[in-house]
């Protein structure tokens, strides 16, 4: 088997990655939305916030049997690399996944990083593969989907009005990308609140946010041709940003929305801001993007508060994702 690194300018390799990824999706998680060439290129060119993944394809006699990816950050967690392993359903149980994983670990060792993680949808195969290679389960998250046609708008309006009584010192503001450069530092400070989300037993450090990273995130959304919507809560007495929620809508698939960050700064919790932000977002999307059919989100299974908000909003459980980690 040959394992070859490629880059975002290699169109043929990108197309092979898309075909591989979609075959894996149809086998393991058919409820997920299909993989596209644009989003694949974006992953390997700009990443989530300016730090692209490094991809590899594995071939046998010219046939793609699997692939892998390495994700690292230079902002934080300099000890850590996050790995992805894919094996085509037609070529499983032949040792290809183990060989790809070993190759990725060797690549990480050469960079001096000392910890690796990977994740996968909950199954006996996922647990068995991780255990076989010395990875311990450290975290689990729930993938949820909200079908907008099923939302009881009248009930949400009622809950919104009730929540307002706890948030008399706050106003909600609608913002679109790009954020003015002068506001990026304040945005980064607010975004740091996401570090309070549960990470269970993962050996990871807080993420570091600054103006450069916030701009890179918005630039990456633009590269993916996503129309982004941000609702922020502002504390009126201080003028400080207290929380935010962000949803993006794909231009190439406008029926799909993706929930990005929802977080409230610790000093401003207890005022029902999470619910207020999300309901205001739904109102905005109904006006600006009425064609959106569903919105995807992830939460740590131990994040009881946000899960409670999402259940009020009608999100349905789709799957559980397990995260594993080991020391090199």
Higher pLDDT: 315 or 230? It is: 230
Length of the chain: 328
Q: Is residue 86 within 8 Å of 66, Cβ to Cβ?
A: yes
Q: For residue 115, give the H/E element and its range.
A: strand 115-121
Query: What is the per-residue pLDDT across 83-140, written as a single tens digit (0 to 9) for each?
Result: 999 999 999 999 999 999 999 999 999 999 999 999 999 999 999 999 999 999 999 9
Average pLDDT value for the chain: 96
| 269 half-sphere exposure, CB direction, 13 A CA radius | 12
Q: How is residue 205 annotated by DSSP?
A: P
How many Å apart are CA 260 and CA 18, to the nearest integer?
23
Res. 4: pLDDT tops 80 = yes
Those residues with Cβ within 8 angstroms of residue 204's Cβ, 6 or more apart along the chain or in another chain: 77, 80
In this prediction, residue 138 carries a pLDDT of: 97
How many Å apart are CA 121 and CA 149, to the nearest integer?
27
In this prediction, residue 321 carries a pLDDT of: 97
In angstroms, the first-to-last Cα distance of the chain is: 24
Query: What is the per-residue pLDDT across 249-280, written as a single tens digit (0 to 9) for each?
Result: 999 999 999 999 999 999 999 999 999 999 99
């Amino acid at each position: 088997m040959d394992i070859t690194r490629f880059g975002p300018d290699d169109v043929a390799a990108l197309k092979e990655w898309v075909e591989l990824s979609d075959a894996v999706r149809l086998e393991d998680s058919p409820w997920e939305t299909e993989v596209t060439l644009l989003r694949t290129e974006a992953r390997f060119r700009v990443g989530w916030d300016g730090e692209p993944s490094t991809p590899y394809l594995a071939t046998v006699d010219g046939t793609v049997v699997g692939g892998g990816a390495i994700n690292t950050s230079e902002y934080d967690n300099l000890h850590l690399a996050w790995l992805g392993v894919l094996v085509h359903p037609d070529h499983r149980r032949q040792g290809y996944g183990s060989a790809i994983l070993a190759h990725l670990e060797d690549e990480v060792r050469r960079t001096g990083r000392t910890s690796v993680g990977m994740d996968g949808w909950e199954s006996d195969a996922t647990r068995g593969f991780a255990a076989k290679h010395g990875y311990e389960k450290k975290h689990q998250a729930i993938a949820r989907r909200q079908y907008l046609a099923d939302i009881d708008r009248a009930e949400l309006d009622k809950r919104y009005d009730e929540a307002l009584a706890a948030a008399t010192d706050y106003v909600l503001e609608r913002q679109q990308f790009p954020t003015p450069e002068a506001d990026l530092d304040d945005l980064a400070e607010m975004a740091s609140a996401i570090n309070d989300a549960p990470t269970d037993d993962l050996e990871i450090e807080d993420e570091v946010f600054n103006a450069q990273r916030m701009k890179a995130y918005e630039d990456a959304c633009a590269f993916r041709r996503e129309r982004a919507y941000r609702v922020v809560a502002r504390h009126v007495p201080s003028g400080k940003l207290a929380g935010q929620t962000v949803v993006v809508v794909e231009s190439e698939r406008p029926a799909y929305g993706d929930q990005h960050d929802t977080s409230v700064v610790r000093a401003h919790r207890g005022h029902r801001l999470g619910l207020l932000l999300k309901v205001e977002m739904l109102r905005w999307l109904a006006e600006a993007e009425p064609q959106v059919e569903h919105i995807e989100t992830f939460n740590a299974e131990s994040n009881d508060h946000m899960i409670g908000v999402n259940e009020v909003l009608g999100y349905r459980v789709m799957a559980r994702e397990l995260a594993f980690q080991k020391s090199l």
